[in-house]
């Protein structure tokens, strides 16, 4: 029963995260600023997560050394989200969300390149398959995709992979996942606020009910709900299952963008997305002494 609950939590988390474009793209099309969007998104999500951390995350206590690492994680988290949202202005959001799903592959590559993790056959195959998938998704001539948009998504995925690696290789690996994510959100909100202050701008207050509800939905569904449910999916179903269930993220994003945002869903996009999903499944399969990226997905 617990395994089934974990699977359901994993699906809810992935589907929730896949709603990112549904709320962000209308805001961007209406001229709402990315920095303001992220500031309110992270602030509200941290506020919602606070009572959960108090009840189930072991409280908020942290050391000075941990605080420094958490500030770094918040900056990586903020940059990853900012790069992703800016990419939505340069390419179809569904395609961007599919390319973003490469971050488990990037995580494994970083661990192998810099931290001595074994590069097994699964990892090598996943990298080859993911490259083919990205090439198919990057239809510069007919798909409305730009090189700048792809570069931003790759930067977003790499930043999130670096976030995952930092959790794995530092003392934060022993920290409760809910508490770690709360501080990541809190410091990500601070990073967005500091960027606004450095540019002498105040957060852009939503000036209509539609904008308010879109910003609120961003904080609740793809942030608070996704983060909370993935924690319990990892706990009850295991990291490998949670990683594979993450395939619902790009599938949801592409479906919603096609249904509600007027984006095309072509056979090329479907095949490219399928290859990206296959690459993540490959990276999640057990391999002797091989890094399992599902372990690192606990805060996605």
pLDDT at 294: 41
Determine contact, residues 274/228, Cβ cutoff 8 Å.
no
Query: pTM for the complete prediction?
Result: 0.90
**Mean pLDDT value across residues 113-129:** 87
Query: What does the alpha-carbon distance between residue 124 and residue 105 come to, in Å, rounded to a whole number?
Result: 9
User: What confidence category does residue 84 fall into, taking pLDDT thresholds of 50, 70 and 90?
Assistant: very high
- What local confidence, expressed as pLDDT, does residue 297 receive? 40
Q: What is the mean pLDDT of the chain?
A: 90
pLDDT the model gives residue 293? 41
pLDDT of residue 291: 40
- Work out the pLDDT band at 292, boundaries 50, 70, 90: very low
Q: Is the pLDDT of residue 290 over 60?
A: no
* Residues in contact with 46: Cβ distance below 8 Å, sequence separation at least 6, in sequence order: 182, 185, 186, 189
CA–CA gap between residue 197 and residue 125 (Å, rounded): 45
Residue that has been written with the tokens 């500030």 in this structure: 71
pLDDT tens sequence across 159-204: 999 998 998 899 998 899 899 999 999 999 999 999 999 999 999 9
Q: How crowded is residue 253: how many other Cβ atoms within 10 Å of its Cβ?
A: 30
Average pLDDT of span 215-239: 91
Pick the closest to residue 222 from 86, 81, 75 (CA basis): 81
| pLDDT at residue 207 in the model | 92
Decide: 32 and 258 in contact? Cβ < 8 Å: no
- The predicted pLDDT at position 287 comes to 62
- Which residues contact residue 38 at a Cβ distance below 8 angstroms, ignoring those fewer than 6 apart? 78, 81, 82, 85, 188, 189, 192
pLDDT at 54 over 90: yes
Contact 28, 93 (CB under 8 A): no
Residues paired with residue 290 on neighbouring β-strands, in sequence order: 118
213's enclosing H/E stretch is: helix 209-219
Tokens of 150: 């792809």
CA dihedral 219, 220, 223, 229 (to 10 degrees): 170
pLDDT value, residue 24: 97
**Looking at the DSSP assignment, which residues form a beta bridge with residue 118?**
290
SS3 assignment, position 290: strand
Q: How far is the C-alpha of 45 from the C-alpha of 192, rounded, in Å? A: 14
Longest dimension (CA), the chain: 55
Dump pLDDT digits (tens) for 131-146. 999 999 998 888 889 9
Query: What is d(CA 96, CA 51) in angstroms, rounded to the nearest whole number?
Result: 33
Considering only CA atoms, which of 245, 288, 282 is closest in space to residue 105?
282
C-alpha 150/C-alpha 134 separation (Å) is 9
């Amino acid at each position: 029963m617990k395994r089934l609950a974990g699977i359901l939590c994993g699906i809810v988390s992935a589907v929730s995260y896949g709603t990112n474009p549904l709320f962000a793209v209308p805001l961007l099309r209406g001229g709402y600023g990315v920095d303001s969007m992220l500031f309110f998104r992270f602030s509200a999500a941290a506020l919602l997560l606070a009572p959960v951390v108090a009840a189930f995350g072991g409280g908020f206590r942290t050391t000075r050394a941990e605080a420094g690492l958490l500030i770094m994680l918040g900056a990586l988290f903020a940059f990853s989200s900012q790069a992703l949202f800016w990419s939505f202005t340069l390419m179809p959001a569904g395609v961007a969300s599919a390319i973003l799903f490469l971050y488990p592959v990037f995580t494994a590559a970083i661990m192998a390149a810099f931290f001595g993790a074994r590069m097994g056959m699964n990892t090598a195959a996943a990298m080859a398959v993911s490259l083919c998938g990205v090439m198919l998704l990057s239809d510069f001539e007919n798909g409305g995709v730009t090189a700048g948009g792809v570069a931003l998504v790759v930067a977003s995925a790499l930043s999130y992979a670096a976030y995952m690696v930092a959790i794995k290789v530092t003392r934060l690996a022993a920290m409760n996942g809910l508490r770690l994510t709360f501080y990541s959100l809190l410091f990500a909100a601070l990073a967005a606020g500091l960027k606004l202050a450095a540019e002498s701008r105040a957060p852009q207050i939503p000036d209509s009910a539609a904008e308010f509800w879109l910003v609120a939905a961003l904080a609740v569904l793809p942030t608070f709900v996704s983060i909370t449910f993935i924690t319990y999916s990892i706990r009850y179903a295991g990291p490998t299952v949670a990683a594979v269930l993450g395939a619902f993220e790009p599938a949801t994003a592409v479906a919603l963008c096609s249904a509600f945002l007027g984006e095309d869903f072509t056979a090329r996009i479907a095949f490219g997305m399928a290859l990206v999903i296959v690459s993540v499944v490959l990276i999640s399969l057990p391999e002797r002494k091989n890094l399992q990226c599902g372990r690192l997905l606990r805060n996605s």
